[in-house]
Amino acid sequence: MQIPFRLFLCFFSMNLYVVSQTVNVGNTTLNVREVINNLSIPWEIKWGPDGYIWMTERPGIVSRVNVESGEKKVILDIQDLTYSSYTNSEAGLLGFEFHPSFTSNKILFLVYTYTTSSGQIKERLVSYNYDETLDKLKNEEILIDNINGWTTHVGCRILALDDNTILISTGDAQDQSSSQNLSELTGKILRVDVSEDNFGGIPSDNPDTSSYVYSWGHRNAQGLELAPNGIVYSSEHGPQNDDELNILMPNRNYGWPSVHGFCDAPNETNFCNANDVVEPLVNWTPTIAPSDIIWYDHPSIPEFQNTLLMTVLKNKMLVKFDFSDDGLSVINQTEYFNNMWGRLRDICVSPDGRIYLATSGYSWPSQPPNEIIELSNNSYYLNLNETHQKNLSINKIIDVLGKEILNIKDYRGIHFIIYNDGSSKKKIK
């Protein structure tokens, strides 16, 4: 579905300013703002507890981005460790995740590819500590090493769960049969203990207490999300057919490479019955290249509230999923922003409901523009602010230099109303 957009302009002090583009989602008008551009393949974006977007760029950079100013502060540069190539490659610094107790222990997790001394491409899970004083990541600790890698099909998302474990998606590294080999870590969902007592170890309640493997038979999952209903959803790339949206369950086989999508071919049916294969909720043929997924639950965009959103690369769009009450089936899917900003790699949401999209150009391998875009229902925040301010009293009114205005009736120009709770509102008279 093509969404129309408009460009609004205003004049102030005889200069021309671009206020915003807008797009419509149902009856809601969203303001569109570019937060930052000229990025180098932003792969993961997450809203941080400090109010910044934390971002990985595939060549080996981790940054904090100020969403108001667009300022980017590099807090880790491991380009000398990371294997990454712009030419026909998906490898590099990929997923990251905050530790469930990040606000107290300042630990986060990264996955990146690297080369061994013999030239083999491998993948590893590591942890870092965030030093607030230096505004840097430091003290790398390797948690899982020597995962077989390749230039493509290397995953990898990381998802923190509420039981002090993390899930990690690994691709099949172009070795399809490894997805069915439980002694290999490729083509799997892995589950890792990140508790203080067993940091980086195998959880005692994993399906096999001697293995990180949580589920298998995956091709290349690049989206993981824990919904409020407790269900973990996953998006996964197919070959030229059968991209998938799945529900992840422990100790289950998802079929690859013997099964593509649903168990609907004679040879697939036999394999599914013999291996108790989990079928997807949704599949796409031809493929659309699904990327990350996130649960949206904020009233500022009512059309998206209590739904799963998925960024899409090849088909360059955002998809919304509506679920049954139990969350076990998709009852509707809707496409938005088709071909509007190119390939959509990742998505994150601020606590006040603003959506941020990381783009990856218009073709593969990733080409410019690589940017972060903000989608915001500004009228919602204006109405919310006005409702809030109706319950406040004015403390004072000041001009742009901070001088109190005693006679506002005769004043002309920019001024600020300061309320009794310390909040303020800019006015022009």
Q: CB of 52 within 8 A of CB of 62?
A: no
Q: Is the pLDDT of residue 336 over 90?
A: yes
Q: How many CB atoms lie within 10 A of CB 304?
A: 26
Q: What is the pLDDT of residue 192?
A: 98
Lowest mean pLDDT among 38-52, 128-142, 284-298, 384-398: 384-398
Q: What is the pLDDT of residue 7?
A: 41
Q: How far is CA 35 from the centre of its chain?
A: 16
Q: What is the pLDDT of residue 14?
A: 31
What's the whole-model pTM score? 0.87
Q: What is the pLDDT of residue 29?
A: 97
Q: Is the pLDDT of residue 233 over 50?
A: yes
- Fold classification of 28-383 is Neuraminidase (2.120.10)
Round to whole Å and give the CA distance between 96 and 107. 11
Instruction: Tell me the per-residue pLDDT of 398-424, one tens digit each, with 9 for 90 and over.
Output: 776 667 888 877 777 777 787 776 666
Q: What is the pLDDT of residue 20?
A: 56
Mean pLDDT of 2-8: 42
Q: What is the mean pLDDT of the chain?
A: 91
Q: What is the pLDDT of residue 122?
A: 98
Q: Is the pLDDT of residue 239 over 80?
A: yes
Instruction: Tell me the per-residue pLDDT of 119-158, one tens digit each, with 9 for 90 and over.
Output: 999 999 999 999 999 999 999 999 999 999 999 999 999 9
pLDDT bin (cut points 50, 70, 90) of residue 365 is confident
Q: Is the pLDDT of residue 6 over 60?
A: no
Token pair of 300 as six digits:
């500022």
Q: CB of 285 within 8 A of CB of 307?
A: no
Q: How far is CA 170 from CA 147, 185, 287, 389, 406, in A?
A: 9, 7, 20, 50, 65
Q: Is the pLDDT of residue 2 over 90?
A: no
Cross-strand bridge partners of residue 398: 404, 416
Find out whether the peptide bond into 156 is cis, omega within 30 degrees of 0. Answer: yes
Instruction: Tell me the per-residue pLDDT of 155-200, one tens digit each, with 9 for 90 and over.
Output: 999 999 999 999 999 999 999 999 999 999 999 999 999 999 999 9
Instruction: Tell me the per-residue pLDDT of 62-119, one tens digit each, with 9 for 90 and over.
Output: 999 999 999 999 999 999 999 988 766 899 999 999 999 999 999 999 999 999 999 9
Cross-strand bridge partners of residue 320: 309, 334
| Helix segments in 34-80, DSSP class H | none
Q: Coil, strand or helix: which one is 410?
A: helix
Q: CB of 168 within 8 A of CB of 190?
A: yes
| Structural domain spans, the chain | 28-383, 393-428
- By CB atoms closer than 10 A (0-12, 13-18, 19+), residue 76 is buried
Find out whether the peptide bond into 365 is cis, omega within 30 degrees of 0. Answer: yes
Mean pLDDT of 253-272: 97
Round to whole Å and give the CA distance between 297 and 309. 10
Instruction: Tell me the per-residue pLDDT of 265-297, one tens digit each, with 9 for 90 and over.
Output: 999 999 999 999 999 999 999 999 999 999 999
Bridge pairing between strands 282-284 and 290-296: unpaired
Round to whole Å and give the CA distance between 188 and 44. 20
Q: What is the pLDDT of residue 406?
A: 83
- By CB atoms closer than 10 A (0-12, 13-18, 19+), residue 119 is exposed
Residues in the chain: 429
Share of the chain above pLDDT 90, in %: 80
Token pair of 305 as six digits:
């509230």
In terms of Cα–Cα distance, which of 240, 238, 274, 282 is closest to 256? 238
Number of C-alpha atoms within 13 angstroms, CB side, residue 76? 27
More confident residue, 356 or 1: 356
